[in-house]
Amino acid sequence: MQPRMQNPAMILPDAMTGIQHLLKATNSGGVPKRTLELIGLRVSQLNGCAPCLVGHLREARNAGETDERLVTLAAWREAPFFTDAERVALELAEAVTRLADRSDEAVPDELWAEVTEHYDEQQISAVLLMIGTLNLFNRINVPIRERADRPSWG
């Protein structure tokens, strides 16, 4: 499969600069790097973005993530390997990624209450920015057919 075009974030350099600033801010929000990478992987699984899956798999491994947790991420609800804080972050990531799939409230109050039990506002901001930034990348990479083996932004 060949890309349809160069990545728009590379064509419009200010876009990539903005994305890099978002990721830098996200990484300074007090959420463990492993958790952020799990969020990136899960969002990319849901959106079918192969280049982001490859990139976040590498980053997760660099952050010390185990193969056991990585291979069970798609079934995180059934797998015993994730902490309560990670689970609520993953649930939030799925809810925000699938906003249009809900007929009721996209992020229910019960979920938000769980999020606030595990994360403060700075950390919640980092989690939400990670979810949003990854959804942005996914929604750029998938339609242009960005390659997983040699992404134009990597």
**Confidence band, pLDDT 50/70/90 cuts, at residue 141:** very high
Q: Under CATH, domain 31-141 is a member of which superfamily?
A: AhpD-like (1.20.1290.10)
Q: Name the one residue in this structure whose structure tokens are 């349809």.
A: 4
Are 152 and 6 in contact by the 8 Å Cβ rule? The answer is: yes
13, pLDDT greater than 80: yes
Q: Structure pTM?
A: 0.94
CA–CA separation, 29 and 75 (whole Å): 27
Are 34 and 63 in contact by the 8 Å Cβ rule? The answer is: yes
Measured CA to CA in angstroms, residue 64 lies from 78, 105, 153, 154 at distances of: 22, 35, 24, 21
**Which helix or strand (DSSP H or E) is residue 17 part of?**
helix 13-27
Domain ranges of the chain: 31-141
